[in-house]
Each structure stands twice: as structure tokens, then as C-alpha cells.
Amino acid sequence: MSKIIINSNSSTIVLMLIFLASSTFFGIANAQNLTETSTTSKNLSLTELYELVIKSVVQVTKTTPPADPLGPDKENQTSLGTGFIYNDTGYIVTNNHVVEKAPVVDITFFNGDRYTANITGTDPFSDLAVIKINENVTKDLIKSLVIGNSSKLRVGDPVVAIGHPFGLESSMTTGIISQIGRLLSVDEKGFSIPNAIQTDALINPGNSGGPLLNMKGEVIGVNTAGIFPGNIGLAVPSDTVLRIIPVLIEGKNYTHPWLGVTGTTLTADLAKREKIDRSQKGVLIDNIVKDGPADLAGLNGSTINQYGEKRGGDLITSVDGKQIIKMEDLISYLELNKSVNENTTLSIYRDGETLDKQITLKSRPTAPITNQTQN
């Protein structure tokens, strides 16, 4: 179990999240790419959609040795997940947490055929991974799914999740897009996945890495986490998949731009504490990472006075001229529009004045720095 932070407009809701993976029977699920090379222009019935994509969805099984070989439990541990065929050369997309720390995993197709697959590449910051079957596979099995455009999603759109919850093979659940643009923060790493998709389609342990589909049978997300109780599912958007997976297939690491700050959306209470007009909007900087990009550019973090009272740092109001209202806006803009070693201009509000600061972005460090929402 892990914490998740979902930021919504003016408040931050901290909930308990179960990443749909485990070192036990309630394992992680891998995601798969849709295998049909052509898509339909019309919406399908649920039965038609299932029959179109199910052969492209696989079960992923990871086996790990016991943590303590000398302990009472000497048997290997098995976890289960889901994946989907990404392209016709046999690459499969799933979640990073499904295959983490496993050099090889087992793949089971809908018809029961089993193969082994190597880990081609992983990106912990987006919780995505790509694996490759390392045996000769019947050509009829390799049919890739079509990747859709997650930027066109609207609240209320019907969606379908397919996977292997609790080891129950090839299960389908239905729901709608409950919201888009969520910020999914995993506390072990201190970074966030922007633009996550929220759905009420039931996503249980074992669904991780499986496809979230629109009614045309296109992958619009990779199922990643569920919040229990509450029946809230979260998926990595397909636009993120299309940006990151090709880099991983090439055997490279995907680098994410990084400011080196933690912060929070300015609320009415924070504005009152900071003596800022309540009409002001932006992200209030809390901590600055030493020698990080923001530190080198001269941004200020929060301070604590001699009375133990905390005062916030600079207020980020825009980036490259784009208004920043909440933390999601800042992280999403940098992730989608900027690259490592590229310059960006932050407009900040400090002591009643608006200042522009040019910052050269660096690559996110691999080691966790904080469990706060950062970029």
C-alpha cells in the first residue's frame, strides 16, 4: 500500500492508494497495447469491443525470491499483472511497478500460450515499462492495439478496463471518465504523474498495466492504481505512453525536466497567512532543493521565524507566459512542453512585486528527495 495525492483546484486530498500490484496473490498488472492495426470510426458494443481487443491483452507474472532466504518463508513470491501488445514486433506495455526488480517475467495470452519476456526499459517517474517476448511467437498472437488520443477525452465519456484482477483472467469492467488532469503522486519517489485519468471503472489488484479503452477499442490510458474504498481508478494517459515508450524501446532512459522545488496550490487560508490578495493565483514554493535549477536561479522557499511561524516562499504565477493556477498546471506544462537543459521563464510574486526568473531545467534525480509534491 502506498499514499497517493490528488490535487483538486484549491485543496489537496490525501488518500490511501493501492497500486494494483503486490508481492503476493494480489499482484501488479501489466498494460498491453491494442493489437488491431486499424480502428473503427464508430462506437462498438461492449461485446464487440471485448472480442476486438482481448487477444491483445496478456497476463504478466513476476516471480521473486524470498526477502530472507534463511527465514521461515523460503518459497518464491509470485505477483500478477496485465499488459497489452504495443506493436507488431512483440513489444508489450505495462506498469513499471508490475515488473520492477525482475529481469524476466512470464507472459500468458488469452488462449493459454505462455512465453518469457525480458524487460526492455522502465520509467519509474511515469510508472511505465516495456517488455519484449524473447521466444518465437505464433504470428497470429501478435496484434497490436491502437493507441488513442487522451487529450480529446471529456468527463462523462464511457470507458472499459480489461485485465486480470486478483488473478481472474480476462475480466472487463465499465465506467466513465470521472475527471482528467489529476496529479498522481507516489510518495516513495516524491514526484508526480501529471494528467492522470480518473475513472469509476473498477480497477482492482491485478489490473495494473492493462488498457483503459474508449468505445472504439483504442487505448486511452494504462490502468495504474485504485483507491479503496471509493471505487476510484487512475490511469496514465495514452499521450504519455506515446511520448515515453518509443524512447524505452530504443534502450534509452526518458529524462524528465526538473525545477527542484516542492510547492502547493495557493488557497484562501495560505493567501491570508501570506498577506496576499485572495484574488491572486499560483503555486506557493515550500522547499528549494540545494543546487537545483530553482536554487541556482535565485528562487526563495519557505522560512520559519523565531516564533516557529512558517512563511511561504515565492509564488509562481506563470511559466513562459502561461498562467499557473494550481500545482498540476506547473508540472503538466513542464512535462509536456519542456526538455532537460532547456530554459524556461517563471514569473513569481515576491514582496508585492512580480519578477521574471529564467531557469535552466535539469533532469530529475533518480533518488527520492522528499515525499512532498515536487518538480
Whether 164 sits among the annotated catalytic residues: the reply is no
Provide φ and ψ at 150, rounded to 5°. Answer: -70, -20
CA pair distance 287, 282, nearest whole angstrom: 16
User: Would you state the pLDDT for residue 9?
Assistant: 38
Distances (CA, A) of 137 to 55, 91, 143, 306: 14, 12, 11, 68
User: Would you state the pLDDT for residue 10?
Assistant: 35
Grid look-up 499514499 returns 3
One-letter amino acid identity for 84? F
User: Would you state the pLDDT for residue 307?
Assistant: 77
**Residue ranges in the chain whose pLDDT is less than 70:** 1-40, 69-71, 74, 186-189, 367-374
Query: Which residue among 56, 171, 208, 302 is the active-site one?
Result: 208
What global pTM score does this model have? 0.84
267 by Cβ neighbours in 10 Å (0-12 / 13-18 / 19+) ranks as middle
User: Would you state the pLDDT for residue 312?
Assistant: 81
Helices (H) and strands (E) in the chain, counts: 6, 24
User: Would you state the pLDDT for residue 12?
Assistant: 36
Go through the domains of the chain in sequence order and give each one's CATH number. 1-253 (2.40.10.120), 257-363 (2.30.42.10)
Helix (H, G, I), strand (E, B), or coil: what is residue 134? coil
One-letter amino acid identity for 191? F
CA pair distance 235, 213, nearest whole angstrom: 11
62-88 tens-digit pLDDT: 987 777 766 677 677 788 999 999 998
Query: Which residue among 22, 56, 79, 97 is the active-site one?
Result: 97
Query: Which residue among 56, 79, 126, 127 is the active-site one?
Result: 127
User: Would you state the pLDDT for residue 188?
Assistant: 62
User: Would you state the pLDDT for residue 65?
Assistant: 77
CA 65 from chain centre, in angstroms, equals: 27
User: Would you state the pLDDT for residue 34?
Assistant: 36
Whether 208 sits among the annotated catalytic residues: the reply is yes
User: Would you state the pLDDT for residue 308?
Assistant: 80
Whether 127 sits among the annotated catalytic residues: the reply is yes
User: Would you state the pLDDT for residue 165?
Assistant: 93
Q: Cis link prior to 229 (omega < 30° from 0)?
A: yes
